Amino acid sequence: MKKIYSNIRGTSDFDTFDSFIFSRICKKARSAFNIFGYQEIILPILEEKGLFAKGVGQVTDIVQGQIFELKGKDIVLRPEGTAQVIRYYIQNSLHKKSDFHKFFYIGPMFRRERPQKGRFRQFHHIGAEAIGSDSIYLDVEVIMLALKISAECGIKDTELKINSLGCADDKRKFSEYIKKSLKPATLCAACKTRSTHQALRVLDCKRPECIKAVKDLNLGQNSLCQACQEQFKKLRSILDDAGVKYTSVPTLVRGLDYYTNTVFEITSSKLGSQDAVGAGGRYNNLMKTLGGPDIPAIGFALGLERMLIALGSKDFKQKPDIFVATIDKTTVAKGFEILTRLREADLSCVFEYQQKTLKAQLRSAQKKGIRFVVIVGEDELKEGSVILKDMDKSVQTKVKIDNLILEIEKIS
Ligand code: HAM
């Protein structure tokens, strides 16, 4: 029996619509990155496993069970971009070239998660990393950039959630406090285990029993040292001054070990249980952890597939502007010549290659939602003209071929 192959579970085939929106999102993101002064880097999909064990954290969900590893090698498909960008930075001693770098990247990431709506095994990140400054204004810049990209892409009903995990010392003390205070018997099965070696992760578990157990802890921002409290206050006041709306969520901790101080998430009500369109935060100690110099950094990543889901509607048609129709075989050559001329003027147009009747060609143009049809007929050609039909207005005029481009540009 013939085997019919399907795409691998947790991966997506983007149809022409999704591919078009995908490219449009990338275009909008690149324009926002340019406005904010971030430069693109394209890094490999394959990395050494140890980079993520050390960078993201040995006991994180990602490293514990989600890494796609090449059999018998210490090579993995990258699960995220931050540790990788820092690897690239250290490898090339970029701190010797400049003390401040702002990078962005767009590309696929891989995590062996249980696939569900908004959660895939291959997905794409639009990520940014700003390396070399601990200024709280940079935290605000990064947050505003992530918000700008999602807004420019048309994602509505978003909410910005922020928190501060404090410095490494605060984080360690807070984690010990949580570990001591939580009663494992009240938690879901996964969090019973987490509560011993990854206690902070229990805070953003979505299971009702864990939400209740965490609520009972009555958390505030009092786990932070004076300096980190001041810093978080400053962050909120700059966001207020900039008119950026946010919710301060003391249980927002994020699943990657490298974060300290500012963490944030942008959620959308258009998504289901996987409601984060993007997330990020500060990771001032990651560079040192990976054997580099002691340089602070902050960044974020937006999930492209989640942006596609949040955008929803498929009623948008990707269509050319012009359909070049020919009356019969005798006008095909001239029709093709006109098509070429229109394309040289950067007008998007299609041609009928299957020798259908004019009626069928007009029907096809209408079905595709194309606004203009150029009808190439023998009689008009004798006068150096064609018929230009505006399908939206149902009007047609005779136009000299030499004036055709000008005429289309005038009325479109
Ligand atoms: P993350 O929260 O793991 O952060 O991923 C960022 C975003 O990627 C999520 O908010 C979500 O939109 C999307 N995402 C994550 N996992 C999946 C999945 N399995 N399927 C579909 N989309 C997914 C990071 O990876 C950090 N590197 C972000 C960062 C950059 N922090 C600082 N700099």
Q: How far, in Å, CA of 227 to CA of 38, rounded?
A: 29
pLDDT at residue 316, as a whole number = 60
Sheet holding 385-390, edge to edge: 349-351, 322-326, 372-376, 385-390, 395-400
Calculate mean pLDDT across residues 213-228: 83
pLDDT tens digits, one per residue of 147-172 = 999 999 999 889 999 999 999 999 99
Sign of CA dihedral 166, 168, 170, 173: positive
H-helix or E-strand containing 288? helix 286-289
Pocket residue to mutate for ligand 1, from 68, 102, 123, 165, most atoms within 8 A of Cβ: 123
**Domains of the chain, each with CATH number or no CATH:** 16-167+225-311 (3.30.930.10), 322-411 (3.40.50.800)
pLDDT at residue 293, as a whole number = 98
Residue owning the nearest CA to atom 21 of ligand 1? 119
Using the predicted structure, report yes or no on whether residue 243 has a pLDDT greater than 70.
yes
pLDDT at residue 46, as a whole number = 98
Global pTM value:
0.88
pLDDT at residue 241, as a whole number = 97
How close is the Cα of 125 to the center of ligand 1, in Å?
A: 7
Residue 283 CA: nearest ligand 1 atom is 32
> Closest Cα to residue 84, out of 129, 28, 142, 25?
129
SS3 of 351, please? strand
pLDDT at residue 264, as a whole number = 98
> Closest Cα to residue 165, out of 83, 245, 231, 239?
231
pLDDT at residue 315, as a whole number = 57
Calculate mean pLDDT across residues 241-270: 94
As for ligand 1, residues whose beta carbon falls within 6 Å of it are 80-82, 111, 113, 118-120, 123, 125, 127, 129, 256, 276-281, 299-301, 303, 305-306
Calculate mean pLDDT across residues 385-410: 94
CA angle (136 as vertex; 133, 142 as ends), nearest 5: 80
pLDDT tens digits, one per residue of 58-74 = 888 888 889 999 988 99
How close is the Cα of 303 to the center of ligand 1, in Å?
A: 6
Sorted by sequence, the CB contacts under 8 Å of residue 242 that are 6+ apart come out as 140, 144
pLDDT at residue 318, as a whole number = 67
The percentage of the chain sitting over the pLDDT mark of 70, rounded to a whole number, equals 98
> Closest Cα to residue 154, out of 310, 318, 316, 317?
310
Phi and psi, residue 167, nearest 5°: -75, 175
pLDDT tens digits, one per residue of 64-100 = 889 999 988 999 999 999 999 999 999 999 999 999 9
Q: How far, in Å, CA of 154 to CA of 71, rounded?
A: 41
> Closest Cα to residue 52, out of 73, 70, 71, 79?
79
How close is the Cα of 123 to the center of ligand 1, in Å?
A: 9
Contact 345, 321 (CB under 8 A): no
Q: How far, in Å, CA of 268 to CA of 130, rounded?
A: 25
> Closest Cα to residue 264, out of 141, 157, 168, 119?
141
* Segment among 192-206, 358-372, 382-396 with least mean pLDDT: 192-206
Higher pLDDT, 197 or 76: 76
Look-up of token digits 């210490």: 74
pLDDT at residue 215, as a whole number = 83
SS3 of 267, please? strand
SS3 of 205, please? coil
Residue 307 CA: nearest ligand 1 atom is 12
pLDDT at residue 366, as a whole number = 93
pLDDT tens digits, one per residue of 264-305 = 999 999 898 889 999 999 999 999 999 999 999 999 999 999
Calculate mean pLDDT across residues 291-320: 88
Q: Which two tokens stand for residue 30?
A: 């690149």
Using the predicted structure, report yes or no on whether residue 57 has a pLDDT greater than 90.
no
pLDDT at residue 94, as a whole number = 98
Residues 78-115: b if buried by 16+ CB within 10 A, e if exposed: bbbbbbbbbbbbbeeebbeeeeebbbbbbbebbbebee
Q: What average pLDDT does the structure give for the chain? A: 93
Q: How far, in Å, CA of 282 to CA of 260, rounded?
A: 6
Half-sphere exposure of residue 367: CA atoms within 13 angstroms, side-chain side? 6
Where residue 373 falls (left for φ over 0; alpha for ψ -120 to 50; beta otherwise) is beta
Residue owning the nearest CA to atom 31 of ligand 1? 280
Q: How far, in Å, CA of 251 to CA of 185, rounded?
A: 20
